[in-house]
Amino acid sequence: MQKIEHIGIAVKDLSISIPLFEKLLNSQCYKTELVESEKVNTAFFKTGESKIELVQSTTADGVIAKYIDKKGEGMHHIAFAVTDIYAEMERLKSEGFILLNETPKNGADNKLVCFLHPKNTNGVLIELCQDKK
């Protein structure tokens, strides 16, 4: 793994959270994106070499909506940049980690992504990210 690519934060409403994080980080949101396959709207901020991703559900029964119902708004995942997501998925699988998707999925910000089950990672949802070529 190369670096922390971003930290994902589950939010109820981007129209409230974007201005909040612009003030907090003293930085403008540089990109918003709808990821239909995941039923989320995202907003990105740069902070040093990493990013903050705000994630809002587009449906009442989406994964993020269910997460917020259970745990409230807050940190949802940590994403790590990898150079070869397929090799990293195989490596982690061979180490006993449970992958939440068997093949990389299209994610926000022009990435291929894979999530690791939090029960194997001390309760933290981990995302692997690779830039699409």
Tens of pLDDT along 82-123?
999 999 999 999 999 999 999 999 999 999 999 999 999 999
Q: Strand, helix or coil at 131?
A: strand
pLDDT at 133: 81
For 12-124, strand residue ranges (E) read 31-35, 40-47, 50-57, 74-81, 105-107, 111-116
- pLDDT at position 1 over 90: no
pLDDT digits (tens, 9 = 90+) for 75-84: 999 999 999 9
Model confidence pLDDT, tens digit, residues 37-74: 899 999 999 998 899 999 999 999 999 999 999 999 99
The pLDDT score that the predictor gives to residue 93 is 97
pLDDT score of 120: 92
